[in-house]
A and B are shown apart, each in its own frame.
Chain A
């Protein structure tokens, strides 16, 4: 029989009870911006939809000394406007502000964007660069943490079991680190990334990098953490010459990742634009030169 049952738990306790009986035809509905399209495309017309949007207790952005904590149903708009996220997780603020349209950001949630695991998901790239973890609850009521990197398998696949739901995203706070995110689409706004990138840098008072994380999205089934690029930046001083090194190693990384693919010639060039955007945003005083406007 074709039938869709929608369950809308209002507390985590109710959610657990519903998850306990989840089966292969159980779907999680958060903002719905990807799910509704998927429902139509895959002709999902029977099963259980668990509507997570009534779990008001999961709508928050807070921070402790060590973590920024974002509740599972918090929307991308709320995150992109949050001063906490701006302060401790700049890359995430920038990424959430660039997903889709205003209307999409008003509905879509961070947990949903992670679970949807699209290759071009902007927030996943940023979260990976921020070493974010997610807190999961399952049908037995157990709560545990996993790395975002381990949840996202890519190509719209995740490692979540049928009875698992992301209830919180945790981003470690590192006051010595700075992060940023950039993307390239087909137009300025309301665009799907052809390429995106997020970085986290730690550097000393002489502007010498001592820790780096560089994550590139939309050049494979999922965003990946490029240790090659990150390592090449270590012990380098951030100055006008730095950008050339950064661009060059990024281009090599793109060559390595997608050489031979139709999109390769474009992406190996365009990644320079991302590097330039990110460096100018992070270090506007240092990265002058070149632009005439």
Chain B
């Protein structure tokens, strides 16, 4: 392979300068003439029917333009998760509801001349509820038949995935280890709370939506469904986003705000504050899991049985998809011949769940990887050795018939991490007996690279070389701060041999971007959209070569590209710049050096991550400090290694919070207690450990330059690695996330009592 000029190098993110200088416009900074401001009235109770709403006082407040409730808004049902038109899902959301199902459900909204008037008017809306009994606990939701959150019952779905004969293998197994692990609801904690701005564009009459979203075509679809409009009347523009992590994947404010503009004909902005964002947008699904693993005495896994109950919250959204996604992962990390996964999702009167970085993987791996350690312990094996016996090897088959695993390099990751972390000596060193005790833990994880084999996974790109020798790529791309735009530029630059600075890659806008089937979801962007960019660039180059050969009157094979020039290798003195060549081709051949290409992803290879964590626990206070992390990722090829490291560092920060401190705490009335950052504790800089990132770059067949995903898998292994470290240090069995000081001290006390008694 020839040496790469742009791929594999660090180029800063495209808007770094503007971000640092505060010049970049977020939706919160955008202003329009005559713009109105909306404020939502959210339900203060967890379950009830609205008996009456009196908005007269609110409407009488000077400056209030209109008050909206279920009475004067479309009641079309939709499901905000639906990102492509063919997706069959239960539709149970509406712009405004007449039956509230969680504290935070949308009851009404005020649109007013300014924000403070809207806030005051909200207080003047009088709502009477007929309160209904509530179901907060998913296990209760499973049993409860009389309290129905939705008419179709509380159980959303049940799904079983099975291979081999689990029962038989379990019965004959010498050792079976069972664990129960529960995971909590967490908030995405993007810096930017949810926001949206809408207007009728006077130049074309389109209902235009500016939103920091992940999928513009999903925004367009949901707005069209909710408002009953044709797709062509709506334009969605992706704006700079202050973080998303899945939280802005589903259009939440967009249909609501768009309706105000549709109804009033003027620009409207709708912005949530932190408390509203935590309680009324989306959360990670909470889960209650049970797992049984059967092994022989040598440590080979004979069978595994997994049962997960998923809390979808008050509305369906992706309850089904995430439950299935969790299950699929269980078959792609270890070579297990007999395995059953049963997933059940239920409604509860709690905040709505949705996509959250990892999409079920952090939950399922917390369950299985804690259990893997406990199984190793039962066998008396080093947990690394136990994993090595059972991890999948490159090109292993998914036993369920799922997409090919591809060049699965989890074992390489494990061996590399083991060495860098000095696992053996740390794992085997004597435990301290004083107040502060150190331990080490590790975990492995897998995730996908797109939607191939599950949902439509294609993107159309439109690439053109301009008359001045630059290039423009039109595609529905959403940079969520991870460096997508630069990554795509690097790929195109490499193929066309054009400096990335000379390639214009605007972000997604449904009016100008060609169609994309799925947006920035499912860790698909570099693998699928990057491959699309590469293929499109190759086609452009092919066309450029063919026409250049005509111009230079030589064979295609004689054409050489060199430093922005094209030449005939038999006549190297006659160099023509890209721009001049485009002009010559236009003039002589009446041809345009552009290609519009629809790339269909042909694969969905597994990616792997292995984390090693050293923790120190204060046995007096139960506080855990993560002191060292080694994160090794099977990435195929890093297009921009610094972006990859950034992704991993951030993912570790999220994962430590998931393991130790972050939790949407809900009281017995359904109120969110931790609804701001004084009570919702993310890991901040003083508590961040040193994170050493290592990459295994063994290449993946269908990835651009061998690349596959890293954005989501990077936040998966960290939580079980930390929990395993705590359990290793203290010889306890924490199986409930987050591992708060309270839970750790209770477990220590329990151990003391057991030993004492």
Chain A positions within 8 Å of B, measured between CB atoms, are 43, 45, 184, 186-192, 265-266, 269-270, 272-274, 276, 289-293
Name the residue of chain A whose CB is nearest to the CB of B616.
A293
B735-751, CB < 8 A from A? 741-742, 745-746, 749
In the complex, A272→B749 CA distance in Å?
A: 14
In the complex, A291→B532 CA distance in Å?
A: 57
Contact of A43 among B123, B436, B622, B686 (CB under 8 A): B123
In the complex, A272→B435 CA distance in Å?
A: 10
Name the residue of chain A whose CB is nearest to the CB of B748.
A269
Name the residue of chain A whose CB is nearest to the CB of B679.
A192
B224 within 8 A of A: no
Name the residue of chain B whose CB is nearest to the CB of A272.
B620
Contact A184 B621 (CB under 8 A): yes
Q: How far is the CB of B276 from chain A (nearest CB, A)?
A: 13
B171 contacts which chain A residues (CB < 8 A)? none
Contact B678 A189 (CB under 8 A): no
B661 contacts which chain A residues (CB < 8 A)? 186-187
In the complex, A60→B613 CA distance in Å?
A: 47
Contact A265 B745 (CB under 8 A): yes
Contact B678 A187 (CB under 8 A): no
Q: How far is the CB of A292 from chain B (nearest CB, A)?
A: 4
In the complex, A146→B12 CA distance in Å?
A: 59
B684 within 8 A of A: yes
Number of A-B contacts (CB under 8 A): 67
Name the residue of chain B whose CB is nearest to the CB of A101.
B684
Contact A273 B123 (CB under 8 A): no
A45, A190, A265, A291, most chain B CB atoms within 10 A: A190
In the complex, A292→B437 CA distance in Å?
A: 8
Task: Count chain B residues whose beta carbon lies closer than 8 angstroms to a beta carbon of A.
Answer: 27
B538 within 8 A of A: no
B574 within 8 A of A: no
Contact B746 A265 (CB under 8 A): yes
A291 contacts which chain B residues (CB < 8 A)? 434-436
Q: How far is the CB of B202 from chain A (nearest CB, A)?
A: 35
B14 within 8 A of A: no
B678 contacts which chain A residues (CB < 8 A)? 192
Name the residue of chain A whose CB is nearest to the CB of B661.
A186
Contact A184 B434 (CB under 8 A): no
B621 contacts which chain A residues (CB < 8 A)? 184, 269-270, 273-274
Contact A273 B620 (CB under 8 A): yes
Given contacts A189-B684, A269-B749, A292-B436, list 16 more A-B pairs with CB under 8 A: A45-B120, A184-B621, A186-B661, A186-B681, A186-B741, A187-B623, A187-B683, A187-B687, A190-B686, A269-B620, A269-B621, A269-B745, A270-B620, A273-B623, A289-B434, A293-B432
Name the residue of chain A whose CB is nearest to the CB of B123.
A43
In the complex, A269→B620 CA distance in Å?
A: 6
Q: How far is the CB of A234 from chain B (nearest CB, A)?
A: 25
Contact B681 A187 (CB under 8 A): yes
B618 within 8 A of A: yes
Q: How far is the CB of B22 from chain A (nearest CB, A)?
A: 17
Contact A184 B623 (CB under 8 A): yes
A273 contacts which chain B residues (CB < 8 A)? 435, 618, 620-621, 623
In the complex, A186→B618 CA distance in Å?
A: 13
User: Which 10 pairs, one residue from A and one from B, show the smallest C-beta to C-beta distance?
Assistant: A273-B620, A292-B432, A273-B621, A290-B434, A189-B686, A266-B742, A186-B681, A270-B621, A272-B620, A269-B745
B600 within 8 A of A: no
B432 contacts which chain A residues (CB < 8 A)? 292-293
Contact B684 A270 (CB under 8 A): no
A45 contacts which chain B residues (CB < 8 A)? 116, 120
In the complex, A247→B746 CA distance in Å?
A: 18
Contact B435 A276 (CB under 8 A): yes
Name the residue of chain B whose CB is nearest to the CB of A192.
B678
Name the residue of chain B whose CB is nearest to the CB of A247.
B620
A186 contacts which chain B residues (CB < 8 A)? 661, 681, 741
B625 within 8 A of A: yes
B433 within 8 A of A: yes
A43, A191, A269, A272, most chain B CB atoms within 10 A: A269
B622 contacts which chain A residues (CB < 8 A)? 266, 269-270
Q: How far is the CB of B437 from chain A (nearest CB, A)?
A: 8
Task: Write out, one digit per residue, whether chain B residues 425-436 have a CB within 8 A of any chain A CB (1) or not (0).
Answer: 000000011111
A191 contacts which chain B residues (CB < 8 A)? 681
A192 contacts which chain B residues (CB < 8 A)? 678-679
In the complex, A45→B116 CA distance in Å?
A: 10
Q: How far is the CB of A171 from chain B (nearest CB, A)?
A: 28
Contact B123 A266 (CB under 8 A): no
A184 contacts which chain B residues (CB < 8 A)? 621, 623, 741
Name the residue of chain A whose CB is nearest to the CB of B662.
A186
Contact B686 A188 (CB under 8 A): yes
A292 contacts which chain B residues (CB < 8 A)? 432-434, 436
In the complex, A273→B621 CA distance in Å?
A: 6
B618, B621, B625, B742, most chain A CB atoms within 10 A: B621
Known: A266-B745, A273-B618. A290 touches B684 (CB 8 A): no
Q: How far is the CB of B743 from chain A (nearest CB, A)?
A: 9
Contact B435 A189 (CB under 8 A): no
Contact B620 A188 (CB under 8 A): no
Task: Write out, one digit per residue, whether chain B residues 625-642 have a CB within 8 A of any chain A CB (1) or not (0).
Answer: 100000000000000000
Known: A265-B742, A269-B749. A188 touches B687 (CB 8 A): yes
A190 contacts which chain B residues (CB < 8 A)? 684, 686
Task: Write out, one digit per residue, whether chain B residues 641-678 have a CB within 8 A of any chain A CB (1) or not (0).
Answer: 00000000000000000000100000000000000001
A272 contacts which chain B residues (CB < 8 A)? 620
A293 contacts which chain B residues (CB < 8 A)? 432, 436
Supply 30 A–B pairs (Cβ within 8 Å), ascending by A: A184-B621, A186-B661, A187-B623, A187-B661, A187-B684, A187-B687, A188-B686, A190-B684, A191-B681, A192-B679, A265-B745, A265-B746, A265-B749, A266-B742, A266-B745, A269-B620, A269-B621, A269-B622, A269-B749, A270-B621, A270-B741, A270-B745, A272-B620, A274-B621, A276-B620, A290-B434, A291-B436, A292-B433, A292-B436, A293-B432
